[in-house]
Structure 1
Amino acid sequence: MSFDAINSEPAIKAVNLSKCYQLYQHPKDRLKQFLWPHRWLGPRLFFRELRALHDIDLTVMPGEVVGIVGQNGSGKSTLLQLVCGTLTPTSGEVRVNGRIAALLELGAGFNPEFSGRENILMSSAIMGLSQAEIAARIDDIIDFSGVRDFIDQPVKTYSSGMYVRLAFSVAINVDPDILVIDEALSVGDGAFARKSFARIMQMRDAGKTILFCSHSLFQVESLCSRTIWINHGRMMMDGESAGVVTAYQAFLDKNSNATNTVPDTITNTNQTVTPESHEHPSGTARLLKVKLQENNANVQHAIIMSGESSVRVSVAFASDPLLPCPNVAMTLQTPDGRTITSAATWEDQFILQRTAEGKGEVSLKLDKIPLLKGDYLINIYLMCERGLHIYDTAVAAATLQIKQSGRLQGYFSIPHRWENTLDG
């Protein structure tokens, strides 16, 4: 069979895929259900059913990068586990064409009594690598994980960070055809998280098939050309990422359960960070200070008039000088988490400058802010050169209270003009 013929086959094909769990109130009810003589006394159920997925049809072609969004309990993880074969469907079927690596519950298959090296050998074999392939890659796996000094110690002695880094390294180095990611882009410390993200981006650029499940709508839209929205086990939308993310965010807003477009990890940096602690952050970058200025004075909370006042946000950072210069982004949010607007250096093609030691400072001026009355939060994000990986965050770094003279409703006062059009 030719390469083109192989590539014409779907990487993942799910048809009428459903998963139903039987939930028992007491352990003894399982035995009752097993022993109940159905044929003579008729059916009786000692359990209640929970249908996690309802008749999902899904086709993913080789090289596609597909995002999956949905609230907790919507069935996203169940779908990924069915694709990976760690769960069996109640009905329907799923076919996978190619070697698959899953970043689900990292390290779930590790034996705590085995050493790191022994767990690498075992996990790689389970993922389908031959002994020759394992031998050729084991040093790369160990080096990527950064735990070489402890590789022959039992993993039960590892810290949680070491454990996760080793598991991620195994999964990412088996050269899969299909990569399944479930909220696994923030493993380990900042330097390792960036390295992990870079490897995933490398796999995407190499044409690997990727399923990416995340609550970070910003990363989903940035990474994935196509996105699927699942709600209560049913597929609500399947299409171009921008449209699906917009519809899903509107759904969250309508249900007053808004999800931030960036991860929830919060580092409030209103105060200056001790210079010695982050002067030369190796392999990553850190926010040092975020300042809000009104009329050339530093403030934490600004009270301004709609359409009349301006403020300036100054952001200082430190970065590893060996890495590309980072980017800075700002969002304005309502207290309930709705993002009203945003600005980013990469979108404006603004190039940050920094010293040879990796330090920099940039300011963003917001002129005659057209927001209508209300309270708003200023969030700052320090991101990688692509504007995808988040190094550091300052959520609610400062607040704005907008006042207005009129009675207009909404979030913005947009430019407008009234005209009389009555003839004669």
Structure 2
Amino acid sequence: MSTHDSQDAIVIQDVVKSFRKKTIRGEYTTFKSELVRWLRGQRQPKQKQFIEALRGINLRIPRGKTMAILGRNGSGKSTLLKLITGIYSPTTGTIDVHGRISALLDLGAGFHPDFSGRENILINGIILGMSRAEVRAKMDTIIAFSELGDFIDEPVRTYSSGMYMRLAFSVATHVDPDILIIDEILAVGDEHFSKKSLAKMLEFKRQGKTIVLVTHDLSTVERWCDLAAWIDGGRIRRVGTPAEIAQEYRQAIALAEARSTTFTPPALAEGDTGRLPDVPSAQQASELPAAPAAPAPVVLSRVRFVDGAGAELSSLSPEQPAEVHIDYTAREGTEGAELELSIESADGKPLYVTSTRADAVALPARLPEEGRVRFLIERLGLLGGEYVLSVRARVPGASFTGPKAQCRFAVVSEREDHGIFRPAHRWVVEESPARARPELARVSGS
């Protein structure tokens, strides 16, 4: 693996990874029958079979970006991560990694069960490229972040799975990596520690670190990532924006489920790789039979949060001002259109709904063929959590029947208040009603 300077943090070229599988016929069930077979000279050699987990992978991951790897179980995602981290070597092809890597892969990978948490921090830090002095200098910070308390000096075999992950996450994120590899481990531990881990990941993104994330949570992909790659059957099917890849992946999975609600893998024939059937392509998914419908007069092509400079936002704070940009296309001559905007919780509960009609905002009498509507929010006011912003359009005499345009976003708050929203407020502390000498204790951001 190379570590020279490059615009790409990771460059994967023509990588193939094969595993050798030994197949032994199971027809000899007793020592006697096996011995008779051997005396008759009817022994059969063990058959060897190569399984190609990855087939000709070509992928570039730019420095400072967050790349999601999508795909069904068995598609080769975890194998790819283990190749990047050096756990596996490619059968053919090359992988160039530019920078120090830290990885969160299997639960407690690299931990010795009989060593204490403190000893494992030292061992893992050295494995990840730090000197003994560097690990000792960060030891207290790592322990404090993991919140393991007195358990840090107990053998890790006594830890719960949540404690394992807290320690692993704390070590992996405090060794100052250039590249962080995560396999299905984004939310760690209980709700409190999950918020801490999310804040840490956001800090990594702000610092321009490169993150490679394998997950089945498409909302996380759309909210967190800058790029996405779809792997199917050991091959890269497509690389693109998270929204595009997530949409095509959903369509393909929906079509696969529509074709068969159950799947029974066939017996392996000689030379068979055991690969699952292909996920249908986005083009195949789009060919699902549907009732013909007239084109919608207004189509919402994109909705997103942006900051004052126009940069797209995937996470916000409760006190942060923001804009929602709603891009649309309209049929020529469309008149009297109305937009409805809603903010919902991650489980679909509506938290706030408004519209241009409700706010007495008139869109142009005749919409241009392409345009943008901006929704300005002076202060978001939501507490920490995950949310969905949805926009839909209609014209007079029609209901909101067109497809919604949506974006998912996270709110990260350092405060300990609870609920859904955070109203602007202040506290007034008086010495006594009689003296009426108020001291104002203003809450920051109110």
Q: Same fold (TM over 0.5)?
A: yes
Point out the structure with max Rg over C-alpha. 2
Give the equivalent residue in structure 1 for 2:21. 23
Give the equivalent residue in structure 2 for 1:404. none
1:333-381 CA deviation, whole Å, 9 max, x = no partner? Answer: 9xxxxxxxx9888x987767699xx9xxxxx9x9998579xxxxxxxx9
Q: Are 1:96 and 2:112 an aligned pair? A: no
Q: Are 1:61 and 2:59 an aligned pair? A: no
* Compared CA separation, residues 20 and 344, structure 1 to 2 (3 A): farther
Which residues in structure 2 correspond to 1:227-246 (within 5 Å)? 227-246=228-247
Give the % identical residues: 40
Q: Are 1:329 and 2:349 an aligned pair? A: no
Shift of 1:193: 1.0
Distance in structure 2 (CA, Å) of the matches to 1:141 and 1:343: 38
* Compared CA separation, residues 215 and 133, structure 1 to 2 (3 A): same
1:44-102 CA deviation, whole Å, 9 max, x = no partner? Answer: 87122221100001112211211111111111111011000011111112111110001
Give the equivalent residue in structure 2 for 1:10. 8
Give yes or no for contact 2:114–2:155 (8 Å, CA) kept in 1. yes
Q: Which runs of 5+ in 2 are unaligned?
A: 27-44, 260-316, 321-342, 354-373, 385-389, 403-407, 420-446
* Compared CA separation, residues 383 and 99, structure 1 to 2 (3 A): closer
Give yes or no for contact 1:106–1:168 (8 Å, CA) kept in 2. no
Distance in structure 2 (CA, Å) of the matches to 1:74 and 1:325: 42
Give the equivalent residue in structure 2 for 1:213. 214
* Compared CA separation, residues 371 and 343, structure 1 to 2 (3 A): farther
Give yes or no for contact 1:330–1:344 (8 Å, CA) kept in 2. no
* Compared CA separation, residues 143 and 90, structure 1 to 2 (3 A): same
Amino acid at match of 2:23: Q
Give yes or no for contact 2:56–2:235 (8 Å, CA) kept in 1. yes
Please give the secondary structure, in 1, of the residue aligned with 2:47. coil
1:265-320 CA deviation, whole Å, 9 max, x = no partner? Answer: xxxxxxxxxxxxxxxxxxxxxxxxxxxxxxxxxxxxxxxxxxxxxxxxxxxxxxxx
Give yes or no for contact 2:8–2:62 (8 Å, CA) kept in 1. yes
Distance in structure 2 (CA, Å) of the matches to 1:85 and 1:99: 12
Give yes or no for contact 2:184–2:214 (8 Å, CA) kept in 1. yes
Give the equivalent residue in structure 2 for 1:177. 178
Distance in structure 2 (CA, Å) of the matches to 1:70 and 1:106: 20
Shift of 1:221: 1.4
* Compared CA separation, residues 27 and 331, structure 1 to 2 (3 A): same
TM normalised by structure 2 equals 0.56
TM normalised by structure 1 equals 0.59
Shift of 1:11: 1.4
Shift of 1:10: 2.5
Give the equivalent residue in structure 1 for 2:39. none
Give yes or no for contact 2:182–2:213 (8 Å, CA) kept in 1. yes
Which residues in structure 2 correspond to 1:2-401 (within 5 Å)? 7-26=5-24, 46-256=47-257, 328-329=344-345, 384-385=411-412
Distance in structure 2 (CA, Å) of the matches to 1:226 and 1:53: 20
Give yes or no for contact 1:9–1:97 (8 Å, CA) kept in 2. no
Please give the secondary structure, in 1, of the residue aligned with 2:82. helix
Distance in structure 1 (CA, Å) of the matches to 2:256 and 2:106: 29
Distance in structure 1 (CA, Å) of the matches to 2:346 and 2:162: 29
Give yes or no for contact 1:228–1:244 (8 Å, CA) kept in 2. yes
Give the equivalent residue in structure 2 for 1:39. none
Shift of 1:161: 1.4
Shift of 1:180: 0.6
Amino acid at match of 1:100: I
* Compared CA separation, residues 26 and 122, structure 1 to 2 (3 A): farther
Give yes or no for contact 1:328–1:383 (8 Å, CA) kept in 2. no
* Compared CA separation, residues 153 and 133, structure 1 to 2 (3 A): same
Distance in structure 2 (CA, Å) of the matches to 1:91 and 1:181: 24
Give yes or no for contact 1:7–1:62 (8 Å, CA) kept in 2. no
Distance in structure 1 (CA, Å) of the matches to 2:159 and 2:376: 43
Please give the secondary structure, in 2, of the residue aligned with 1:24. strand
Give yes or no for contact 1:21–1:50 (8 Å, CA) kept in 2. yes
How many residues align? The count is: 283
